[in-house]
Structure 1
Amino acid sequence: MRLDEADPKGLVRESYRIEGITLGECKSILVDWALSLPVDAPMKEAIRVVMAEYALGAPDHPMSKVLEEGLMAPEAPKRRGGRAARVSGV
């Protein structure tokens, strides 16, 4: 995944440029960032890409902590609709 795919609106990039940004503000930006990704985008891969670009140079930045927490979060379960949701073993 390329950086322009992982941070299509530059939200993570800009968060690292904001002086005095708080952990809460970074969490809010991360939600906006996640919503800007395509539905089928691999979230953890996108996090790794933006971390490699921005977090390595600023390990004490609040966004670096938020991104690390994002990597630790369990994957969201996939929605099963229609017949697959009603019939076990499918």
Structure 2
Amino acid sequence: MTDLIKAIDPRGLIRESYRIEGIRIEECRSIFLDWALFDDHEMAQAERITTLLDHYGADAPDHPMTQVMRLALDEAATPKRRGGRKGRVG
């Protein structure tokens, strides 16, 4: 494992999710949320997810965690509507 991957996933949550045989997508979502909420890296989150996908997802394209991270990237790329005053005035 590279130093960058260790820095992005210091607790090894993503790494371990790929090692759990028979893990379901619901469990991967929970693990991913835990990783995302307690992440404090300087790199942008989308870049961290892409790095993890390149490292783990290339060998496991059908793994539920790969699916969860791809969905997270898709959501991050989709602009969200902002409501209220901030949505009108920027």
- Aligned length, in residue pairs: 80
Give the match for residue 51 of structure 2. Answer: 49
Deviant stretches of 4+, over 6 Å: none
Aligned with 1:66: secondary structure? Answer: helix
CA RMSD, Structure 1 to Structure 2 (Å): 2.4
With normalisation by structure 2, the TM-score equals: 0.76
**Is the helix fraction higher in 1 or 2?**
2
Q: Which runs of 5+ in 1 are unaligned?
A: 78-84
- Tell me if the contact between 1:12 and 1:33 (Cα under 8 Å) persists in the aligned partners: yes
Does 2:17 match 1:15? yes
CA distance in 2, matches of 1:13, 1:39: 17
* Percentage of pairs with the same residue: 41
Q: Which has the larger radius of gyration?
A: 1
For residue 3 of structure 1, report the CA deviation from its aligned partner: 1.0
1:74 CA displacement: 3.0
Aligned 8 A contact 1:9 1:36 in 2: no
Alignment gaps of 5+ in structure 2: 81-85
